Structure formats: structure tokens, C-alpha cells
Amino acid sequence: MPNTSNSEPAAEPTVDVLPNGMRVAVTSIPHSQAAVLAAYVGVGSRDEARQTLGLSHYLEHMLFKGTESRPEPTAISAAIEGAGGSLNAFTSRELTCYWNRVPFDRLPLAMDVLADSVRYSMLAESEIERERTVICSEIRRAHDQPGQRVMQLISDAAYGDQPLGWEIAGDLDSVDAITREDLATHVETFYRPANIVLSVAGNVDRETVVELAERHWGSNWPDGASQGTPSRKSADEQMSNNLAQIEVRELEQCNLALALRSIHRLDPDRYAMALLNEVLGGGMSSRLFTEIREKRGLAYSVGSHPTAFDDAGHLTVMAGVTEEHVLETVDVVFEELGKLVAEPVTDDELERVREHAVGSFRLGLDAAASWCHRAGGMLLANGFIEPVEETIAGYQSVTKADIQRVAQRFVREDNLAAAVVGPFDQADALRERVDGFSPN
């Protein structure tokens, strides 16, 4: 057995700020064979106008489509893949991230390619039009997949007609309206040094990374790049006028989602919220899995997860059930939510979910990529990187009373939305349940 009392502390990132305001996080993992780089940009779909929704996602696609020094659309991917690495990007409601992963001795190449793609895209008209077709295909595919479609409907139901309720990729009309000028203005407005975090993790050293960052990111920015970015509009607390959204389709089963508006990212109750989720639907030992699948056999898959933004959040419960079991499943979820409000969890349950949360968190940091994205995402979103042991201490501090109290904060009347995609014909009964929801 290893002697955990003498084990080395977890690697922790360092943070340097370049003269232009760009932050550089470095997590050195000497035993790693990789170097993972990510550029996090503080802009996502909630920062967009409704008529050009999907702009951040569209730009994410375009930054792989040719630069001044690599004009061929495939040159960027070929440079990284030619070194044995991989690269990709993603867009969320609050940020856009571009990353690549290479053998550690190819760090200079990876830094060059990442900076080149993010800073010097040509945004060629021919590529914009070609990619428009690709993005529209992506939107149609998401619409055709019931699991993805129900998540969009539940976002709409929980947030209504505001950016947090809109689809990240936009819709066919908004994507069709995006022009090269829109993309270029988006870059000029948000892709500024102080709004970007560069995170690097793996077998790298701080001095080398900062030197490369200064070389590739420290200068040659356009006029105005030192200015601040537009303020983000606060989320509206109001939910949708249509709290039960149903899309009838000829499928083998119904995809069910329930959501309750909850807490924001840095809320003091965030650790208690995480453990509450573990109790409710965080795994195969959770209450929902035990009651819905193991005891009643209503669903093959069932679970829950919390989502948190700068100033808002929600808890989602998902299940795949046959049409005749939708309402019974909803009733079971309501019952379990009511129990969390009415009575504390047991001592054994608290310790089980605490151990699961801590263990899952530690295992989630088993690779350089995990360290890279944790540091980059937290530094951009929160302005700081929470030390590993501080996160664990947060979990360790949660009491039974904390879990019950946080449940009472958001499991309440007029704070529940539902969505179903599938062969469901009991819409009125579902709406009655949603409208009449009460944890008591």
C-alpha cells in the first residue's frame, strides 16, 4: 500500500501576466510525455445578438481554415497531426477554447500553431461560405438527435427568451445571416490579450512557456486591443412562459429532462450543491438510479448534473423512458426532490457521496489535458485557480444540514421546467404536474 501521508502534493499551476494583460497559466508535470496548450477566450453565445446567434461557434470553426502563414485550410491540422498530436476547439455559453496536444518536445510548434490560428486567420470568404454549410449540417444533426434536442428544449424552458436559453450554435436563420464583417468585428471586440488565458500543462517549464508566449502573443496586436471588452448582460431570473416543452416524434422511447434554476458558479453553497447532486443522481448508487432503474425498472439511463454560470445555474435530471413511464418517472423525481428538502441525508450517505466526489475529482486530474483545461477555464471564468486541496476541503466541509439547506434554496414552487422528445401524448398531464410542483 502506498504511504499517502508522505505522498507528493498535487501539481499546481503558476500564473504570469504578460505586459499586454494576457494571462499565462503553466502546470508542470515532469513525468508526462505530453504538452497540452489551450487558449481560452472570454466570449460565448450569451454575449451575442439574437440575429447573429452562433457567431462565437462559427468563428471557432473558421480559425482552423487558413492563416497568413498557413493559407491552406488543412495546414493547421496537418502541422499538429504531423507531430503525432491532436487539436480541436469548443464553444460554450460563456467562453471559446482552442487547444492542441503534442509530444512535449514539440511545444514550440504547438505554441506557434495555436497563436497563428487564433490571431491570424484570414477569414476567407470562400471558406466562410463552405463552412456555413457544415455548421448548418451540425445544427440539423443536433436537432435530429433526441438526446441533444431535449437538452435544448429544457434550456429554453428554464431560461426563456434570453441568451442562456438560446442554442449555442444558433439556428439556420441566424447562421445564414452571419457575414465576414460580423466575424471580423467579433475578433476585434473580444479577442484581446486581457480577455484571453493561455494554459499549458505537461512536461514543460514555466520559463520556456512564458518566453514562447511573449514571442507569439506579446506583440503585433491591432489598435484598440488594449481596450476592455463589452460588459455581459446579467441573466434574467424569469423562466420561460412555456415550462413544459414537448416535441412529439416517432421514436422507440421518450427523452425526458427536468430542470430547476439553482446557484451560480462561485456561490458559497457550490460544494454542498455538488454533493446534493451526487445524492440525487450522480451515479449508480444515487437515489434516482436506485429508485427509477433498480427498484422500478422504469429506465435504462437516469441521472442528474448541475450547470453553473457567472450569475445563474440549474440542476438537470435526465432519463430515457418509454411513453407509458414518463409521468411515473416524473412523480418519482418529484418525490426524491421533496425528500431532500424535508429531511437530512443520512451519515452513511453523506460519507459515500463525499468520497465519490473527492475520488472522482482526483481521478479527473490524471492527465495533462485535465490540468490544462481546469487551469485555463477557472482562471478565465473566476479570475483565479482554486488549489486542489482547497476544492477537496470544500467537499470535506459539507454537512447534512448544508445539503438540506441548499435543496431548500432551489427546490421550490414555480422553479421547475420539463421537456420531452418522443412519442408522448400526455402533454396536459405533464403540464399539470409541472405547474403544480411543490416539494411539500
Active site residues: 60
> C-alpha cell of 204?
514543460
Nearest residue to 280 (alpha-carbon basis) of 255, 312, 306: 306
Phi, psi of 405 (to 5 degrees): -65, -45
- Identify whether the C-beta of residue 158 lies closer than 8 Å to the C-beta of residue 261: yes
**Residue 16 to residue 401: CA distance in whole angstroms:** 40
Q: Is the dihedral angle over the CA atoms 405, 410, 416, 419 positive or is it negative?
A: negative
Q: How many CB atoms within 10 Å of residue 20?
A: 16
**Residue 403 to residue 263: CA distance in whole angstroms:** 13
What's the maximum distance between 2 C-alpha atoms anywhere in the chain? 64
**Parallel, antiparallel, or unpaired for β 417-422 and 244-248?**
parallel
